[in-house]
Structure 1
Amino acid sequence: MVCSLSVSLSYGPPVSVKVGSPALLTCSTPCHGDIKWALSKQLEELLAASCEKAICVEGDAFQNRTKVKQENASLLLDPAVYTDTGWYICSCSGSVLCDVHLEVFAPVTMSSSVGEKVTLPCYTHTDKNTGGNAVLMWWEKDGKPVVKLQHGKLSYGSGFEQRASVSASRYKDGDLSLDLTRFRSSDEGVYRCFHGNNDLGYPEAVILKASSTRLEQTVRPWWVSSQVWISSTLLALLCAAVFFWVWQRSRPQRQRTIVSSNTPRSENRETLLGASPSNNTGCVYMQRFFPIRFNSFRL
């Protein structure tokens, strides 16, 4: 449905959602009559949804994605698509009730380990002749301030003091990137960079997450690490005890094997001397402990 529209739009903070998420547009005044929401495109409008006498109709570009509530004159888009971005006009019984700007962005995702430094990228077209004091740019996380550079001075949001920074010199190169040191798990969220007249840089948003492996190691209780260390030590001691026990058990058998293997040689020596084991016991033992190469003698 396309028709002409001539209405003065008001300006206020936009509703920002990422692609695929639900977007809720709400007027502060309820509507007790027929309600209509439309997306303004320059001097034209596209019907999003309208309800007349409890019968609601959706626009062609919003099929199966809208829900209208008259008690707070709200429009729910679920899910929001990238082309939903724009000004939405809400009218009640033919009178304009409010207008809301919806911004649908496609974020990029980054991750960092706890305690490390991370740089979130943001670029835009800037004037290379812009002086340091004329630079105005800032970053927000989930709609709350992170850091702001204005009149050559940095100001910080809560929890980002002396950890977040942007560069006025890089601004001339179109680089609005955010440097964040000593990353914390609480730093996770959606980050967006702005400059000048509330203009966005590219990418439109950065989703920052903590690396799962490092995060698990960081939040692990101390007693868990102690238990692992104690268990490893006990296992090593047990293995050493088993090895020692097996080694001790094998020693007598080895000695018996050695003596048995030497017996024929002793008997041969006794035979050469003309002695028997029964009559020359002492000599045999002497031969075992003090072996003599009898084959060097000629009888």
Structure 2
Amino acid sequence: MQSCSSALCILILLISTFTTEILSAVAPVKVNLHDSATLPCSERCSGLVRWSVFHKPTDVLAECDQTSCRSKEGYQMIHDQYLKGNLSLTITDADFSKRDWYTCQCDDKDICDVRLQIEPLSTSVRIKAGESLVLDLDIPEEVEVYYKSTGAAGPSSGQICTVDGRSLQCKPEYKQRASTLLQLRAVTPSDSGVYTVMDKRNEKVIHIYTVTVESAGGDDHPDLDTDKGAAV
């Protein structure tokens, strides 16, 4: 096997770097949860056009040729548009499981790469002291939960839990109060703040909870009592 010359090796490296930068610079398609999403691709192709998830190239989501289009449930290409060079893929119900890079190919050659992102959910929660705070994690993959206090009496801000399936790891002051459903028991006003659920693999925010805990007995800043919560 012949090795490349120094100049050729440098050229190959520059082309590879340039291609990677272009791919990362392509603006992602961002939609709200369960909205329809259109992944754009404009290119003339007289042959077979196929869309797939980038890391599953053999799992064809939709395809078109000169005679017709075919697609899996939840995905759509329009034949009239294909004939005009509009090869866009429509995802009819964009949920968190569909966040990924998608690739469009013309006769097995990549022509478009598009990333689909779901906008973070935002929820305001108001509960009374002593009740349980339940955070919906929204996805089955591993997530991290971060807390930021909105008052001086709250615990220090930062990551409080990591949830992976039924495995739960939390900071000591939360360990006895949380379950695998991320239910924080026996909250106090000092638990008021912003809780952020982040997809660990993609490093993307999934859900932001703004939580207000109302005092039940007039004491706005009771101490955090982990033993009280562990009895639930």
What TM-score, normalized by structure 1, do the two folds share?
0.36
What TM-score, normalized by structure 2, do the two folds share?
0.45
Query: Which protein is richer in strand relative to its size?
Result: 2
Query: Which protein is richer in helix relative to its size?
Result: 1
